[in-house]
């Protein structure tokens, strides 16, 4: 039992701090203490994750709970994202000053759900972890309680419920065919079923399709992206940032583990879902970039941008499927891309939080002349937008080279060509924002203030974008270590 508790320490410690935040909120008047306690909880949880890094992979509860480098990588990613969002929220929480305790506690609880999602290896526990993170995010999306926020929360809840039902139905079909709920046991059962039986029975293929649909909602790929623009626009801006990176990373984490572990063999099955993700990737990146061009609201623009980024990330998933057991580039490229995208998109939204709070608008035209009114914020936003395009010397360039290299290496050149063309298309609307900020005449000479916490977070994210772009070697090694578990 002690071993099992040791494996659970990151999640248990964070849960304790989430409960502590709720209790402290009842008795203290200085609500800024709640943010400090939340950050401390994330640091403690991160410390426990680091103590587990480098050890041999282990499992608990009969294989339901897996602790390996893959899971630990994502746990650190979720903790970092949650911590940066909480720090960046210091300029924003005045909009719901009475509910700061609930706000911070829900962020911590959603992070616990995402950590469990990356670490579980069993159907029922995957579903429970998914719902734990999703329900917290539904509430956070409607936290402003104004018409837009309430509409966003309701839309996210209803569509999320449909996606959860679809996912559950897919799981039921897989369970019905194999009689197992553990991923490794499902894989073993599928391998023992004769090929002719699998081909004659549509249940498995339908189950895979329904699973892809359910998880596709989580990562916001086409045609399951319809919730993104309205939810991104209506949600509190820090939560929009959190949704765009942490929720998406959690989706890719569970998809990568689920499909590779369960459907990695036989090769024909792996090839089929690899081609499925390749097709979705091409459609997703194209639709996201084309519709983003027409957006006038910067949060909606970044919403469609996140759809396009999901398309790029799916190149890595497709490479994993097509290459089957031989692949390492696709999985490690996927992880490196997620790390760079997390820093980049958080940096962009952090700058938007400060600017939009001052001008009380998310319209791109209202960012005119921001380079003279808030040069540091505009510079940080510019750097992050350049990274989203994939230009040097940023992390976005290395991430795209890495993941596109995997696509070329495993015979997906056509998909990589589409990805490069889409990167060129994306430059139009990303650089359009840069042009407005630096070349437009400011409508006011009033400066744009920001808290020290927000400035520190923006500096950290921009520094991370540059470090991953200039000296990515160490981080590439970490990504490769994290996926090595699948080849052992």
| Statement: residue 292 has pLDDT above 80 | yes
Q: Which two tokens stand for residue 144?
A: 């402003």
**What is the tens place of the pLDDT at every residue in 89-136?**
887 887 877 888 899 999 999 999 999 999 998 999 999 999 999 999
- 296 three-class SS: coil
| Statement: residue 145 has pLDDT above 60 | yes
Query: Residue 397: its pLDDT value, please?
Result: 92
- 275 three-class SS: helix
Q: Which two tokens stand for residue 460?
A: 């950290």
What's the average model confidence in pLDDT over 352-381?
88
What is the Cα–Cα distance from 140 to 99, expressed in whole angstroms?
A: 11
**Phi, psi at 276, each rounded to 5°:** -60, -50
Label the pairing between strands 58-60 and 65-67: antiparallel
Q: Which residues contact 198 (CB under 8 A, 6 or more apart)?
A: 190, 204, 269
- 122 φψ region: left (φ > 0), alpha (ψ -120 to 50), beta (else): beta
What is the Cα–Cα distance from 181 to 71, expressed in whole angstroms?
A: 19
336 or 194, which is more confident? 336
Query: Residue 486: its pLDDT value, please?
Result: 62
What is the Cα–Cα distance from 159 to 221, expressed in whole angstroms?
A: 14
Query: Residue 1: its pLDDT value, please?
Result: 41
- Banded model confidence at residue 166, pLDDT cuts 50, 70, 90: very high
Query: Residue 425: its pLDDT value, please?
Result: 94
Query: Residue 416: its pLDDT value, please?
Result: 93
Q: Which two tokens stand for residue 305?
A: 């941008």
- Banded model confidence at residue 2, pLDDT cuts 50, 70, 90: very low
Rg (CA), the chain: 22
What's the average model confidence in pLDDT over 26-50?
91
28-37, 329-338, 405-414: least confidently modelled range? 329-338
Adjacent-strand bridge partners of 122: 182
How many other C-beta atoms lie within 10 A of the C-beta of residue 5? 10
Query: Residue 329: its pLDDT value, please?
Result: 64
What is the Cα–Cα distance from 271 to 289, expressed in whole angstroms?
A: 27
75-79, 120-124, 190-194, 280-284: least confidently modelled range? 190-194
Q: Rounded to the nearest 5 degrees, what angle is found at the Cα of 403, between the Cα atoms of 401 and 404?
A: 65
202 or 433, which is more confident? 433
Please check whether residue 237 is in contact with residue 353, taking contact to mean a CB–CB distance below 8 angstroms: yes
What's the average model confidence in pLDDT over 181-208?
80
DSSP secondary structure code for residue 30 in this structure: -
Peptide bond into 133 cis (omega under 30): no
Adjacent-strand bridge partners of 363: 297
| Statement: residue 197 has pLDDT above 70 | no
| Statement: residue 30 has pLDDT above 90 | no
How many other C-beta atoms lie within 10 A of the C-beta of residue 198? 17
Give the percent of the chain with pLDDT over 70: 96
| Statement: residue 421 has pLDDT above 80 | yes
| Statement: residue 327 has pLDDT above 80 | no
Domain segments of the chain as ranges: 1-263, 268-488
Query: Residue 11: its pLDDT value, please?
Result: 93
**What is the tens place of the pLDDT at every residue in 47-87?**
999 999 878 878 888 878 888 889 999 999 999 999 999 99
What is the Cα–Cα distance from 5 to 474, expressed in whole angstroms?
A: 31
Query: Residue 326: its pLDDT value, please?
Result: 54
């Amino acid at each position: 039992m002690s071993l099992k508790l040791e494996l659970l320490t990151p999640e248990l410690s964070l849960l304790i701090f989430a409960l502590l935040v709720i209790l402290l909120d009842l008795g203290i008047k200085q609500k800024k203490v709640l943010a400090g306690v939340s950050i401390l909880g994330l640091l403690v949880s991160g410390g426990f994750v680091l103590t587990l890094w480098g050890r041999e992979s282990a499992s608990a509860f009969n294989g339901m709970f897996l602790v390996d480098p893959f899971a630990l990588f994502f746990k650190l990613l979720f903790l970092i994202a949650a911590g940066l969002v909480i720090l960046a929220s210091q300029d924003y929480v005045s909009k719901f000053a009475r509910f700061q305790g609930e706000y911070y506690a829900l962020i911590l609880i959603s992070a616990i759900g995402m950590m469990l999602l990356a670490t579980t290896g069993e159907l029922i526990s995957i579903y429970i972890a998914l719902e734990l993170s999703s329900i917290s995010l539904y509430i956070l999306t409607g936290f402003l309680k104004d018409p837009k926020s309430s509409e966003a929360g309701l839309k996210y809840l209803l569509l999320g419920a449909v996606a959860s039902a679809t996912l559950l139905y897919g799981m039921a079909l897989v369970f019905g065919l194999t009689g197992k709920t553990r991923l490794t046991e499902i894989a073993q059962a599928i391998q023992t079923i004769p090929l002719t039986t699998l081909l004659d029975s549509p249940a498995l293929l339908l189950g895979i399709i329904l699973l892809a649909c359910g998880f596709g909602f989580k990562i916001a790929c086409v045609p399951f992206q319809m919730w993104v623009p309205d939810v991104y626009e209506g949600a509190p801006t820090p939560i929009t940032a959190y949704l765009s990176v942490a929720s998406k990373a959690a989706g890719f984490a569970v998809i990568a583990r689920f499909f590779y572990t369960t459907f990695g063999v036989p090769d024909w099955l792996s090839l089929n879902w690899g081609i499925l993700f390749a097709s979705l990737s091409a459609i997703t990146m194209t639709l996201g970039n084309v519709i983003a061009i027409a957006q006038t609201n910067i949060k909606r623009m970044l919403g469609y941008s996140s759809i396009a980024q999901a398309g790029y990330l799916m190149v890595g998933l497709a490479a994993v499927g097509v290459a089957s057991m031989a692949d390492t580039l696709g999985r490690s490229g996927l992880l490196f891309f997620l790390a760079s995208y997390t820093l980049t998109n958080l940096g962009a939204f952090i700058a938007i939080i400060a600017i939009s709070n001052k001008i009380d608008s998310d319209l791109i035209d209202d960012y005119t002349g921001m380079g003279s009114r808030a040069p540091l914020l505009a510079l940080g936003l510019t750097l992050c937008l350049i990274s989203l395009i994939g230009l040097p010397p940023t992390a976005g360039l290395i991430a795209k080279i890495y993941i596109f290299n995997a696509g070329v290496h495993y015979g997906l050149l056509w998909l990589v060509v589409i990805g490069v063309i889409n990167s060129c298309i994306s430059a139009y609307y990303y650089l359009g924002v840069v042009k407005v900020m630096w070349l437009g005449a400011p409508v006011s000479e009033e400066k744009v203030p920001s808290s020290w916490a927000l400035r520190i977070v923006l500096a950290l994210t921009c520094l991370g974008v540059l470090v991953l772009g200039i000296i990515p070697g160490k981080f590439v090694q970490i990504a490769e270590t994290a996926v090595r578990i699948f080849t052992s």
